[in-house]
Chain A
Amino acid sequence: MSGAALAVLIVLGPLLLAGGFLLGRRTARPERTSDVGTPVEHATFETLHTASLATPPLRAGLTEESARKAARRLRSLLGTDALCLTDRERVLAWDGLGEHHGKHVMDHVQGLLGSGRYTAFASGCGDLDCPLRWGVAAPLTVDHRVLGTLVAYAPRESAVLARAAGEVARWVSVQLELAELDRSRTRLIEAEIKALRAQISPHFIFNSLAAIASFVRTDPERARELLLEFADFTRYSFRRHGDFTTLADELHSIDQYLALVRARFGERLSVTLQVAPEVLPVAMPFLCLQPLVENAVKHGLEGAVTTSRITISALDAGAEAEVVIEDDGVGMEPDRLRRILRGEGGASTGIGLLNVDERLRQVYGDEYGLVIETGVDAGMKITVRIPKYRAGVHGT
């Protein structure tokens, strides 16, 4: 009896899961298609939907992989027997019948690659049963350069297909332009990371050296220690290899940074740490926390004569690590902070915060941006969530 009940349970378990999954899906996404609208509108929805499905692969640029995935969708969009995507040298993907035409495609589109004009051609197939008698090729252009072609085949000449292929090719071109845009945004962020590394130097190096100089005569031993900290800190900050580090290393560098800051401000700065040892090996983008601590130090000491308190905690939260940096300084007008994070804050302030926020979003997705709680004279609390694993992020 218990056996039968168990079998029921084992069947129920996955069903329950599937139910939860579907329920989540439904609540997470609004209804896609509805029963309203005329048949024409339905057809439009259908077309737009197919087009939207072809979009994600193309956003990775024109490669064999992305072409293979997109070609299937594009062919159903055009409703032809065969569709082919090429770059400037070779066929990237063939979807549909008659793959043996593949080797002739490049001959047919040679002219198009030079001129960027549509070409229609007879396939000249020797096989009488082959339905692909006629083809039309349209260029895929990005910034007026022809990156590749889209070729559609049909049993006979068709003006409708020629027009449609042209439109689809233009739409694909827009997607490829977006891909290009994505790439330049990545390059921009990489450049910004480099800029941020360079940015640490001027102020901080000058101040630290001045502080160390003040100890050289009175306390040579301390001066020596500080110089060593300084050497370690700059070596870490200026390292050229790898975009990622571990939380342990990042905390270590923050410690050196704070030692140098303390040399300047002495007792005015007190720091409390709470670190869960489980999260120390977490991999994370290089120099993501140091700017936040620098920010906290600046806010904490700004305009105040009294001591400033900074709390840094790193806690284990299941599949994520949660790092919180809190100061009791002057805080900030939330509106001003919002402007800074939109990149409208002016050149002088908050480049660090903005940069960290953008890099976190870039690496982990938008839901992992900085969470900042602040108010005027209310201090500032910055929360960073870091997933313990993300494909491509390796700290060592």
Chain B
Amino acid sequence: MNQSYTVTAVALVVLATVLVGGFGLRISRTTSDFYVASRTVGPGLNAAAISGEYLSAASFLGVAGLVLLHGPDMLWYPVGYTAGYLVLLVFVAAPLRRSGAYTLPDFAEGRLESRAVRRLVSVFVAGAGWLYLVPQLQGAGLTLAILTGAPDWFGGVLVALVVVVAVAAGGMRSITFVQAFQYWLKLTALLVPALFLLLAWQGDGRPRVDLDLASAVAGRADHPLYATYGLIVATFLGTMGLPHVVVRFYTSPNGRAARRTTLFVLALIGAFYLLPPVYGALGRLYVPELPYGTNADAAVLLLPERAIGGLGGALLGALVAGGAFAAFLSTASGLTMAVAGVLTQDVLPSRGVRHFRLATPLAMAVPLGGSLLITGMPVADSVGMAFAVSASSFCPLLVLGIWWRRLTPPGAIAGLLLGGGLSFAATVITVSGAVRSGWPHALLAWPAVWSVPVGFLAMILVSLATRGRIPPGTNAAMARFHLPEALMPSGKGGVR
């Protein structure tokens, strides 16, 4: 294993991220021409940015690892990660953009006119963000440990440091360009080696890939069908509430553009997710010892070296490692910014920019601690839990907030606490390892199947019981959400 290539690739990715972040804006938009300067972010660029931020360690490493371990059943992961945007497109994208909200707490406050709901949503945003950050840092640790032999904790600490310094110093100013760049980098880093791998496979006389479940490690859950449904519900409904995804929609100039952006995201992410299963399947062939070894998430990283070998294999391996690091960096920086923003605005007392700098290390410290303590959990599973919490708390809030007039602040609070709180509790119990088998384990490890309905029901029933508390501005808010901008009475008329 040639470490110097890998180290160079990772260093290049870090450097490129910092440079594009710091200078991208200067190069592209300093001009005396107003029409160039005030060109809004187009759906294509914004979609690449959203995809770049969204494709995390779970997508880059986790999916392939799961396919390798458990066979084609795991293809539901990429399907779910993608289909979440379909739900987002149909129910949420345009109204959310028209609401003018920058973050989920903004949306809650604007729709329900209640500071209390805002506070509660902030707490859940921080919680879901942290759950999602843990696997990113773990993935980074794993990558560096496998490729360079560094200690397990090193990669996570490195990513945490880079992100904290970049975010706190305001180096992520042209974030759209950075994230769009990361998407194309990640796609290249998986696509090019995949092509070579397929060629190598062809060259070997196309040995049949044995994807039969029985040949792999014993099934990963006692109740695979239930687990699959849990996964589907969590990913389909959880995507809309991910804090780092929501803020990116603000960049779209209007609701229509937000919808178009989502459509592009579907295409970009769909294209990307064709690749990890290839790695998973070929991993079965070329890295057969992995399922019985330590960590299947490493399949993507080891494949080029094993299947191709030589200098070519080393270079392709370095490319994959660079792409993986792009995945950790982009998702982690987006999440850290979202969590730190929420912490400064709603949780810590307001002290302006200085507090944002103080909140950034706090936003990163908790998940970093978590990533050092939890080991041996597949990254795709940990990410799945963040999705479950998001699906049980934010999905009811967004869907009912946008489509149901009678939602009241007490109803929203009840739904958030019951749906989100229970799924969060289930996650904590699962991770602590208190319940390890049987139905209790299945129910707790994939809580979305029951916690999402609980969240919806609680919101609906409590809202119906507190009819008197419907916010006075509901009709105005609904009109703003659902009428195209050009039709609004105070609209600016036409899109420039």
Interface set of A (CB-CB < 8 Å, partner B): 2-7, 9-10, 12-13, 16-17, 20-21, 24-25, 28, 241-242, 245-246, 248-249, 251-252, 254-255, 258, 270-278, 280-281, 283, 315-319, 367, 388-389, 391, 393-396
Contacts and interface: CB of A to CB of B under 8 A. Distances in A.
Given A389-B106, A394-B100, A280 B432 contact: no
A251 B34 contact: yes
Contacts of B350: 367
Contact of B362 (A2, A20, A277, A317): A20
Given A274-B37, A276-B173, A278-B251, 20 more contacts: A2-B375, A4-B432, A6-B370, A17-B343, A21-B347, A21-B349, A24-B348, A248-B253, A255-B35, A274-B25, A274-B30, A277-B176, A316-B175, A319-B341, A388-B106, A389-B103, A394-B480, A394-B490, A395-B100, A396-B488
Interface in B471-496: 480, 485, 488-492, 496
Contact of A241 (B433, B490, B496): B490
Contacts of A277: 29, 39-41, 176, 251
Given A3-B431, A7-B428, A280-B38, A391 B348 contact: no
Contacts of A9: 366, 369-370, 373
Nearest to A313: B30
A261 B110 CA distance: 40
Contact of A367 (B40, B102, B352, B369): B352
Contacts of B490: 241-242, 394, 396
B38 A275 contact: yes
Contacts of B432: 3-4, 6-7
A270 B39 CA distance: 20
A276 B174 contact: yes
A251 B38 contact: yes
Nearest to A271: B32
Contacts of B110: 389, 391
Given A10-B428, A28-B349, A396 B491 contact: yes
Contacts of A248: 38, 40, 253, 496
B102 A389 contact: yes
Contacts of B366: 9, 13, 16
Nearest to B39: A277
B253 A2 contact: no
B482 to A, nearest CB: 13
A39 to B, nearest CB: 32
B347 A17 contact: yes
B13 to A, nearest CB: 22
A394 B254 CA distance: 12
A16 B170 contact: no
Nearest to A255: B34
Contact of A278 (B41, B126, B341): B41
A13 B130 contact: yes
5 contacts: A5-B373, A6-B374, A9-B370, A318-B337, A367-B352
Nearest to A5: B373
Interface of B: 25-26, 29-35, 37-41, 98, 100-103, 106, 109-110, 113, 126, 130, 170, 173-176, 250-254, 337, 340-341, 343-345, 347-353, 355-356, 362, 365-366, 369-370, 373-376, 428, 431-434, 480, 485, 488-492, 496
A270 B362 contact: no
Interface centre among B38, B101, B366, B431 (most CB of A within 10 A): B38
A28 B349 CA distance: 7
Contact of A319 (B25, B41, B103, B373): B103
A275 B40 CA distance: 10
A10 B430 CA distance: 12
A280 B433 CA distance: 48
B426 to A, nearest CB: 12
A24 B39 CA distance: 41
Contact of A6 (B347, B373, B496): B373
A252 B492 CA distance: 13
Nearest to A24: B349
Contacts of A5: 373
B102 A388 contact: yes
A13 B31 CA distance: 46
A197 to B, nearest CB: 16
Nearest to B428: A10
Contacts of B174: 276, 278, 316
A10 B127 CA distance: 10
A6 B431 contact: yes
Interface centre among A249, A254, A276, A395 (most CB of B within 10 A): A276
B489 A241 contact: yes
A374 B30 CA distance: 24
Interface centre among A5, A7, A16, A318 (most CB of B within 10 A): A318
Contacts of A315: 25, 173
